[in-house]
Amino acid sequence: MEDMIFYDRLQFAFTITFHYLFPQLTMGLSLIIVYFKWQYLRTKTEQYNDAARFFMKIFAINFTMGVVTGIPMEFQFGTNWAKFSELTGGIIGQTLAMEGTFSFFLESSFLALFIFGEKLMGQKLHLLTGFLVFLGSWASGYFILATNAWMQHPVGYEVLANGKFVLENFSALFSNPWLLPAFLHNQMASVVTSSFVVASIGAFYLLSKTEEEYGKLFLKTGVIFGLTSSLLVAFPTGDWNAKNVVKYQPAAFAAMEGIFETEEGGAEIVLIGQPNMVEKKLDNKIAVPNILSFLTYQEWDKEIKGMEEFDKEELPDNIPALYYSYHMMVGLGTIFIGVMALAAFLLWRKKLYSFAPLLWVIMFLFPFPYIANITGWYVAELGRQPYLVYGLLRTVEGISPTVSSGNTLFTLLGFVGLYMLLGLLFLLLVGKAIHAGPKPIKH
């Protein structure tokens, strides 16, 4: 049974990790594309229109990969997690169906119109199609996070005699106190990813001395969007999310912060440390006294419960992974703010375009927002364990008892091989688009 749970979780973790590489870019990039198109209508500067077309090509490649890698995850609900689907399908099926019916078709339909219909529609309608692509991509994120928010903090449900969950209050799904903070935090994080991608392409063009005018435009846009979104990820959205975890999942919060014993006179915030699960302490820690209590409750000496206060069965089942994921996310977010703040300062001083050291940093930093986003998802999912639906349905109760661990491992290996090929194809297509550049081909 333990092997079965491990391989079921591992397969879903792998497929969702690979899948989320793509929508985290499309959601943020759609906003920047709308900005470029709006700037073109406002200024009549052709560079903005070229930039919108160029990044929509990259958006389309990402979107396609997101669709291809997203479909297997839904099949896993029926194969590896059949009991979970049977018990909760009456609730999560509604938000997932809305995501597919409304968001996906809105996004895909108007994506085609944006790519192929500019001359036919005219510029104002072209902007409208870009905005509808943006709306569809963000609505998709909203419905997915509404599903996840119910699993993190279940509301508006009733449990029938046969153990199935049914929806008692439809509006409660979308007024869930977990949803809005998670959605805003997630969307700002996706803008961080897209901003670094845009800025890194700009830095590449400047360093290689190709497409330099577009390089300046991309770099400037990426830095402005990047600094703004990096700050918003930390505050207020990150702070809001953390306070939700304190309120609704206090055991997960203690594990995230590495608090083994209750700190009555004010909790310190740990900058560096390694969880020692044998001795129940953090080794080699560097901490600042009382800061965590102040950030959480705005009181310097407020008590924060440690993991010792909770039953062992209620604690997350992989505390080190949760702790390291959380600290990687926070640490990278802090680095993003610092890099983008320095870049914004140099941009204001008109020195950014010629300051090669920072251009190299920006160019090579673009994978790290992906890592921060993925570890952020790990924090949410590892923190919810050992439950699929927090406090109601344990993970062991949601698996498919007729699917063996051997079958799951075999299909996992197949996913690894297939996704490796898809990843190489994706890199080839995006690299080709970047090499071709944003200038339109003259006929």
Residue 100 has pLDDT above 90, yes or no: no
Tokens coding 330: 């926070």
Q: How many Å is the Cα radius of gyration of the chain?
A: 23
Determine the Cα–Cα distance for residues 215 and 13; give it in Å rounded to an integer: 36
* Chain centroid offset of residue 230 CA: 13
Write the pLDDT tens digit of every residue in 26-78. Answer: 999 999 999 999 999 999 999 999 999 999 999 999 999 999 998 888 888 88
Task: With cut-offs at 50, 70 and 90, classify the pLDDT of residue 228.
Answer: very high
Q: d(Cα 391, Cα 20) in Å, to the nearest integer?
A: 26
Tell me the two tokens of residue 369. 């927002």
Mean pLDDT over residues 410-414, rounded?
93
- pLDDT surpasses 90 at 2: no
For range 143-164, the mean pLDDT: 95
Spatial distance between the Cα atoms of 338 and 231, rounded to a whole number of angstroms: 10
> In this structure, are residues 365 and 375 in contact, taking their beta carbons and an 8 Å threshold?
no
**388-402 mean pLDDT:** 94
pLDDT of residue 109: 87
- Is the peptide bond prior to 236 cis by the omega test (within 30 degrees of 0)? yes
Among candidate residues 54, 426, 25, the one with its CA nearest the CA of residue 218: 54
- Please provide the size of the chain in residues: 443
Question: pLDDT category, 115, cuts 50, 70, 90?
Answer: very high
Domain limits, the chain? 2-262+305-436
pLDDT digits (tens, 9 = 90+) for 322-350: 999 999 999 999 999 999 999 999 999 99
pLDDT digits (tens, 9 = 90+) for 348-367: 999 999 999 999 999 999 99
Calpha distance 190→176 (Å, rounded): 22
- Residue with token string 């994978």: 367
At what angle are helices 356-365 and 319-348 packed, to 10 degrees? 150
Q: Quote the pLDDT of residue 441.
A: 59
Rounded to an integer, the average pLDDT of 175-180 is 97
Whether the pLDDT of residue 240 is over 70: the answer is yes
Task: Tell me what the mean pLDDT of segment 266-287 comes to.
Answer: 92
- The Cα–Cα gap between 32 and 191 comes to 8
* pLDDT at residue 338, as a whole number: 98
Average pLDDT over residues 268-276: 93
**Is residue 443's pLDDT more than 50?**
no
Our CA angle for 200, 204, 206, nearest 5°, is: 115
Say what the pLDDT of residue 442 is.
Answer: 56
Structure tokens, 178 = 């977990």
